[in-house]
Structure 1
Amino acid sequence: MSALTETATAAYFYYYPLVENLRQVERYVTAGIGSNPAAPFNSFSHARKLAGPEDTFVTINNDTVYSMAQLDLSGGPLRLDVPATGDRYYVLQFVDAWTNNIAYIGTRATGNEAGSFLIAPPGWTGESEFPVVQASTDIVSIVGRFACTGNDDLSAVTSLQNSLVLEPLNPTAAVNGLPAVDANPSDGLLFWQQAHNWSQAFPAPAAESALIERFSGLFSPDVDSEDLAAWYDDGVAKLEDATKHGEAPVFNGWTVGLHLFDYNVYNLSLGTIDDDRWKIRDEKVCLAERAIACRLGLWGNHAYEAVYAQAFTDVTGAPLLGENTYRINFPEKPPVGAFWSITLYDIPRYYLVDNPIDRYSIGDRTAGIRYEADGSLILTISKDEPTSVTARSNWLPAPDAAFRLVFRLYVPGESILDETYSYPPVELVS
């Protein structure tokens, strides 16, 4: 591998989160995604139902109803008003252009009372009577999630969503939006052009200036377009491979991304935990984990908000296939402050999979699940509907193909965070 090719691979991993993230931002403000309609910058887009197969977003959850807002702070600060949510779990997660989780408002971070907050652009030095979310880039995504138990609960969630208010302090100020890029027939050339233009518009932290300088040669007009295309293809392949061989530990077959979203070490604002326990200090590992996190679960939370464990295989290491039947036995309820679920996704898109009973996740809030006499819970995962009443009640339908599971634990207990929790294995039954 030549030195320039090695640099290009590192650059692909570095810029991939920025490019993929801003492509999704652009989708939200121009076309919408699934149940979330398009909405202009600095306004909310509300889904009015739980996500399903039509929501084509990587590893989208089926536990909460989404309220999304794409912010452009180039016009100045915004005021955000949130309603009281009673005992309902909710979170508004703030993600900058580089996919850093920079702030949280919600049940864990700020409580469930009504309140007002100020969202300030980079470099802002004003005063506010409200708690401040200090942004690190002009573009910020609010990823809002309201816990929802099903269709009967949707009207209550809708009422809360409608009570979210965003208002610019200067209503007449113009915003910059996303810099345009030239129409380009090649995926590879488009990627590098977006990486260059968008990284200039939304600068990385000053501490990463040496990396920016290292990668600058890739954007020289003297670089051959065929080389750029080849470097892009190589980067895509290497990132796909890295998603299967990341740094996350494995417990009973579950790869637990406890620190997958700890790559933000510079911009930690309201509701985050500014502690070395939640920071990846090795730069090489940090940037690799950021790319992997973006590929597997864009806009995922820090572990202290929600833990994501994934399984591509059963406990023996054999791939999960729809032609088989699997069992997951929970001897006791997982230690969470909010709730937990297991969701099934296809491969390699990581989208929810259509099924005959319209069930895409299963967990402690699933209507009709049946516990054993000793309080344990046994889940069945298969393509074919189980024959017994209990197994059918606790059934998560699988496709006739390979699939991936994600085990979510919202507001995880300390045994999960200190890695002493015993994850229930995915066991092959037949």
Structure 2
Amino acid sequence: MELVALAAEAYIYGYPLVRDLSVVEGAMYTGFGPLPPTPFNHFAHADRPVPADTPFVSVGDDTVRSVAHLDLTGGPVLLHVPGPDGAYRVLQFVDVWTNNFAYVGRRATAVRAGDWLVVPPGWAGREPDGVLGVIDAPTSVVTVIGRSVCDADGDGDGLERVRAFQEQLTVTYTEPGTHRTGLPAPDPDVPEALRFFEQLRVWMADFPPAAPDQAYQDRFQPLGLLEEGPSPYVRADAALVRALTEGAARGRARVEEASRADAVPVGWVMEPHLFDYNLDHYGVGTIDSPQWRIADREESYLTRAVAARSALWGVHGYEAVHAHTLCDAGGERLNGARSYVLRFAGRPPAGAGWSLAVYDMAGRRVDGDGVDGRGMDGHGLDGHGTAGRRIGESPAGRGPAYAEDGSLTVRVQRERPGDPVAAANWLPVPDGDFRAVLGLCAPEAGILDGTYEFPAVERVR
């Protein structure tokens, strides 16, 4: 039973690495959603918000994505970033253990056109003249996720600005080294029941963790995870097979249990600290503060696994948060058969824009004729060039109609209001249950310290 418990710990510890690289591998060969298959050191660009069934998207995160998986085994690369255009954009850097280790964008850095040098672990070369800065990668493969917010009022100009931004994102080599074209391959003869541990064994060897994690990882020696060369799982003895399979089941159950919400909460819910498990790598644009670190390292492993399972490649709360609610102020489930109103006392405290949208329970944003067409297959845009309808403000957008006192009243109902001002602040709803999602880019202190009072979703009777 001791080996079973150890295997469960290894599953929780290693799940983020296996999850991340499995998605990276899929992105290279099959793509996902509107993102086409793309090799290392090239960007894949979406032309619309990525659908909710994509591996790294949660409901409410409706930015348009650009994703590049960088391989640094052949040396550093130059990442060209275009200059500001008034909209909110951020480039997020994630290592293979799913740690967010750098941000380049409106909140984090001086926004100007130029090149950033992304260097591999242990690099001691000379920085080229004229670069904006150096980004030290903790692992030799990293993922760069570009997030671009279109105008919240949905005009087509917002999407055109996104396309112009995407066209200028480039990756170039600085040295004549040889970059790999794929990930280290697990032994194909390992039984499917042990494939997770074989992936973990191979990828741990190629992508060592932070030094403080190494001692914890060394405990897994009895499981065969630290063996190099031929896989110990091809002809593993029956006792080890039982320990690994039962341990994986226990570890998986623990991650799923920690990910599940047993009850439907009343009021707005958000998780600004889900990504605070990065304890070792604080690069450009990150905040090195106890407020944004999990104090207990072993506790951080479970949080990291939960984040990888439910919101892979999400950002720190200081970059963006998404609050959501399933219930009205009286505790009843939100449903399209009813009408609601939200009253904001003023602009939500977000330094780089905010948006409010309605999603059906399949994760599809709702437009004026019901749910939009992108659904589970990722297709379909409304007439404004954005999937579904939302209201809010981005730095480049016009925004909704505020009252003279600065307040904002949002109508959430099936039919379009007849009054022009009410129609400008209208969110349509689907026939059945739905959720409301409030996205906040670069949230301010009131959001992060919990003092901001989110507007109640009041049922109109």
Equivalent position of 1:215 in the other structure: 220
Equivalent position of 1:295 in the other structure: 309
Counterpart of 2:205 (choices 200, 206, 218) is 200
Map 1:337-376 to 2 at 5 A.
Answer: 337-343=351-357, 355-356=371-372, 358-359=387-388, 361-364=390-393, 369-371=400-402, 374-376=405-407
In 1, Cα distance between the equivalents of 2:140 and 2:364? 29
In 1, Cα distance between the equivalents of 2:365 and 2:195? 28
Counterpart of 1:262 (choices 262, 276, 281) is 276
* Equivalent pair of 1:28/1:37 in contact (CA under 8 Å): yes
Equivalent position of 1:422 in the other structure: 453
In the alignment, structure 1 segments of 5+ residues that lack a partner are none
* Equivalent pair of 1:252/1:424 in contact (CA under 8 Å): no
* Equivalent pair of 2:41/2:70 in contact (CA under 8 Å): yes
Alpha carbons of structure 1 residues 16 and 342: separation in structure 2 relative to 1, 3 Å: farther
Q: Offset of 1:127 from its aligned partner?
A: 2.6
In 1, Cα distance between the equivalents of 2:14 and 2:118? 25
Alpha carbons of structure 1 residues 295 and 46: separation in structure 2 relative to 1, 3 Å: same
In the superposition, the TM-score normalised over structure 2's length comes to 0.80
Alpha carbons of structure 1 residues 239 and 188: separation in structure 2 relative to 1, 3 Å: farther
Deviations 1:144-177 (A, max 9, x none): 0122124332222211211112111124523263
TM-align CA RMSD: 3.4
Tell me which amino acid in the other structure corresponds to 1:290: R
More displaced stretch, 373-382 vs 158-167: 373-382
Q: Which has the higher contact order (CA 8 A, sep 6+)?
A: 2
* Equivalent pair of 1:92/1:104 in contact (CA under 8 Å): yes
Tell me which amino acid in the other structure corresponds to 1:169: T
More displaced stretch, 163-172 vs 187-196: 187-196
In the superposition, the TM-score normalised over structure 1's length comes to 0.85
Higher radius of gyration, 1 or 2: 2
Alpha carbons of structure 1 residues 225 and 216: separation in structure 2 relative to 1, 3 Å: same
In 1, Cα distance between the equivalents of 2:460 and 2:37? 44
Report the secondary structure of 2:65's partner residue. strand
Alpha carbons of structure 1 residues 423 and 56: separation in structure 2 relative to 1, 3 Å: same
More displaced stretch, 311-320 vs 196-205: 311-320
Map 1:17-416 to 2 at 5 A.
Answer: 17-52=16-51, 57-59=56-58, 63-128=62-127, 129=129, 130=131, 131-149=133-151, 150=154, 151-175=156-180, 177-183=182-188, 189-219=194-224, 221-222=236-237, 223-244=239-260, 253-311=267-325, 313-314=327-328, 327-343=341-357, 355-356=371-372, 358-359=387-388, 361-364=390-393, 369-371=400-402, 374-379=405-410, 384-385=414-415, 390=422, 394-398=426-430, 400=432, 405-416=436-447
Task: Among all aligned residue pairs of Structure 1 and Structure 2, give the percentage whose two residues are the same amino acid.
Answer: 39
Tell me which amino acid in the other structure corresponds to 2:393: D
In 1, Cα distance between the equivalents of 2:416 and 2:143? 41
Deviations 1:369-396 (A, max 9, x none): 55556543344556x5566663795225
In 1, Cα distance between the equivalents of 2:357 and 2:137? 32
In 2, Cα distance between the equivalents of 1:350 and 1:5? 37
* Equivalent pair of 1:313/1:320 in contact (CA under 8 Å): yes
Q: Offset of 1:141 from its aligned partner?
A: 0.4
Alpha carbons of structure 1 residues 218 and 122: separation in structure 2 relative to 1, 3 Å: same
Tell me which amino acid in the other structure corresponds to 1:216: Q
Q: Offset of 1:264 from its aligned partner?
A: 0.7
In the alignment, structure 2 segments of 5+ residues that lack a partner are 225-231, 373-381
In 2, Cα distance between the equivalents of 1:175 and 1:321? 51
Deviations 1:276-323 (A, max 9, x none): 222112123322221222222211111221123344555566665666
Q: Offset of 1:200 from its aligned partner?
A: 1.8
Q: How many residues align?
A: 423
